[in-house]
Amino acid sequence: MRVITSKAEMKAFARQTRAAGRSLGLVPTMGALHEGHASLIRRAREETDRVVVTIFVNPLQFGEAEDLARYPRDEARDAAACETAGVDLVWAPTVEEVFPLGASLARPAPGRVGDLYEGAARPGHFAGVLQVVHRLFDVVGPSMAYFGEKDAQQLFLVRRMVAEEASLRMRIVGCPTLREPDGLARSSRNASLGAEERTQATCLFLALTEAAERARAGERDGNVLVAVMAREIGATPLVKLDYAAVVDDATFEPIGRIDGPARAIVAARFPEVRLIDNLLLPEPDA
Ligand code: AMP
Cβ neighbourhood burial of 142 (10 Å; 0-12, 13-18, 19+): middle
pLDDT band at residue 285 under the 50/70/90 scheme: confident
Nearest to 205 by CA among 274, 276, 263, 269: 276
Is it the case that residue 14 has pLDDT exceeding 90? yes
Helices (H), 86-190: 95-98, 118-121, 125-140, 152-164
Q: What is the dihedral of CA 192, 267, 240, 212, to 10 degrees?
A: -120
Q: Which residues are catalytic?
A: 37
Q: Which of 210, 238, 237, 235 is nearest to 225 (CA)?
A: 210
Determine how many CB atoms are found less than 10 A away from the CB of residue 83.
12
Query: Does ligand 1 lie within 6 Å of residue 148's CB atom?
Result: yes
User: What number is the average pLDDT over the span 200-205?
Assistant: 98
Choice from 150, 170, 184, 188 to test ligand 1 binding pocket (greatest atom count within 8 A of CB) = 150
Predicted pLDDT of residue 265: 99
Q: What are phi and psi of 266, to 5 degrees?
A: -140, 155
Q: What's the 96 CA to ligand 1 centre distance in angstroms?
A: 24
Query: Is there a contact between 216 and 249 (Cβ–Cβ < 8 Å)?
Result: no
User: 276 forms bridges with which residues in the sheet?
Assistant: 267
User: Relative to the CA of 178, which ligand 1 atom is closest?
Assistant: 20
Atom of ligand 1 nearest to the CA of 33: 2
Average pLDDT, the chain: 96
Give, using CA atoms, the residue closest to atom 22 of ligand 1. Answer: 148
Could you read off the pLDDT of 130-164 as tens digits, one per residue? 999 999 999 999 999 999 999 999 999 999 999 99
Q: Is 147 in the pocket of ligand 1 (CB under 6 A)?
A: yes
| 66 has a pLDDT exceeding 90 | no
150 in contact with ligand 1, CB cutoff 6 A: yes
The pLDDT, as a whole number, for residue 202 is: 98
Determine what percent of the chain is predicted with pLDDT higher than 90: 94
| CA of 27 relative to ligand 1 center, distance in Å | 9
> CB burial class (10 A; 0-12, 13-18, 19+) of residue 67?
exposed
